Amino acid sequence: MRVKFYRNIFIENIVKDLEYSSLNKGINFEISDYSNIFNQEMFKNYEIVFFIIDFTKIKNKKIYLKEIKKNFDYLKKKNINYLFLYYSENNLVADKYSYNLKHTFSLNLKKKLLKKSILFDNKSYLKLTNLIEICLTIFTPYKLRVIAFDLDNTLWDGVIGEDTKIKINNFQKKNLILINKLIEKGFLISLISKNNLIDVRKFMNKGYMKKIFNKSKKYISWDDKSNSINKLIKWSKLNQNNFLFFDDSENETLRISHNFPKMLISNAKDHGKIFFILSIMNNLSKKNKVSSLRRIDLENNEKRKKLQNESITEFIKSTSPKVVIFKNSTKQVNRIEEMSNKINQFNLSDERYDKKQINSFLKSKAYDIYTFSLKDRFGDSGIIGYLLIYKFNNQIQIKDIKISCRALGRDLEIFFINKVLMKNGLNKNDIILNYKKTNRNKPVNNILIKNFNNLKKIKKSKIKNLKYFNYVQVRFC
């Protein structure tokens, strides 16, 4: 991914820190010359563009803002993400010449990040770097999936159980509305706070807060927040770099940053900054039915887990799974692309495909794509995986298989593979596996070794019905 910074100030130190950060692997950063002038040709070949501008150096603000608006319209048309960060004596977003600029944030309004001019003190520099890093993650498709919030002095002002009056300011009201919108769009929301759960439930039992309380994963107790976050990571089956955590306490954010170095942490004292971050997330994301199933499915996994002390056959009998296997479905291209780019654990090849590549597979006689949907007595998981088969020189290769982590642990991974191969008469010869080891795909390694005793091929003798297959309802489409 290529990222360009346009600036009229010194930002080399910030970009160096971004380059060294482990969160930004695979990103190439480039910095423009010192300039106040931009044209659309300059934006080509970049996925993300940042503007960092000191407006005290701009002579004609009205003309400059008109040009900026044209450039923003062009970037939006070309699907290039952008962020406009500025220093000014006035709030440009409220300015009559600003044309309702979006993705725009003041660096100095009410002394948010910068106190005077564009010269950074150490704290301001760190805050700006943190904001850019969060936005980089937001702009990276499928990366940010969990947002966790402290409560006191974050979602509201005051401490429940101590302060007689708890207030919610205008930004906090807007933030509560945005959190509800993000829940509807499939983001996992978690509340992590040192508080009395009964007191919090009583306070949040109204309006926007009630929905957040009911539809979030809650770790509200006197337990250490790092322990709570660790539990949340295990529950969600995601990696810490898929998380963003807001907390108003500097001591807590420092401790959590130390314990979870790949997690994005933001100080929540600036409620306007939280609003800005949540607004960008809301603007860039669409309502996603599959992602919306995730929270419910993860909660149902807790019920399934109670049954897993039984044998595989008894577990399958108890859960009554129903599987639908689709072949070359053109209606599922978006979901296949999403799974290809999101799934890391049950991930055979580590290859990532976009819509253009997926459509070429669907048109080619050399490839077949099988997708799987899964229901059981606890709920509907939706489309949870795909298998890509490549046929060449009378040989069959499983080029890729990816299965959502929330569907793992139900003993159905081998069912998907074997059923597809047997149904289509592909079990007459050994099957080649396009396996590539990564830092995160140990689950696929373990299951292949356990069932096939091989990471490079599946022997034809291993492609067969297992006893528990008889208790899975399956339909091919």
pLDDT at 173: 93
pLDDT single digits (tens) 303-325 = 777 776 778 888 888 889 999 99
Tell me: pLDDT of 110 over 80.
no
pLDDT single digits (tens) 70-100 = 888 888 888 888 888 888 776 665 544 444 4
Range with the poorest average pLDDT among 253-267, 367-381, 413-427? 413-427
Residues 215-227: what's their mean pLDDT? 93
Local confidence band at 111 (pLDDT 50, 70, 90 cut-offs): very low
% pLDDT > 70, the chain: 92
Question: Given strand 104-106, what is the order of strands in its sheet?
Answer: 28-34, 2-7, 48-54, 81-87, 104-106
Mean pLDDT, the chain, integer: 86
pLDDT at 466: 87
Local confidence band at 116 (pLDDT 50, 70, 90 cut-offs): very low
Between CA 326 and CA 331 the distance in angstroms is 10
Burial 20-37 (b: 16+ CB within 10 A, else e): eeebbeebebebbeeeee
Between CA 106 and CA 91 the distance in angstroms is 7
pLDDT at 108: 65
Tell me: pLDDT of 427 over 80.
no
pLDDT at 98: 42
The model's pTM = 0.74
Range with the poorest average pLDDT among 19-33, 83-97, 254-268, 408-422? 83-97
Q: What is the CA radius of gyration of the chain?
A: 25
Retrieve residue 159's tokens: 């401490």
Most confidently modeled range among 1-10, 269-278, 366-375, 421-430:
366-375
Between CA 340 and CA 317 the distance in angstroms is 31
Local confidence band at 188 (pLDDT 50, 70, 90 cut-offs): very high
Residues 443-456: what's their mean pLDDT? 91
φ, ψ of residue 45 in degrees (nearest 5): 70, 15
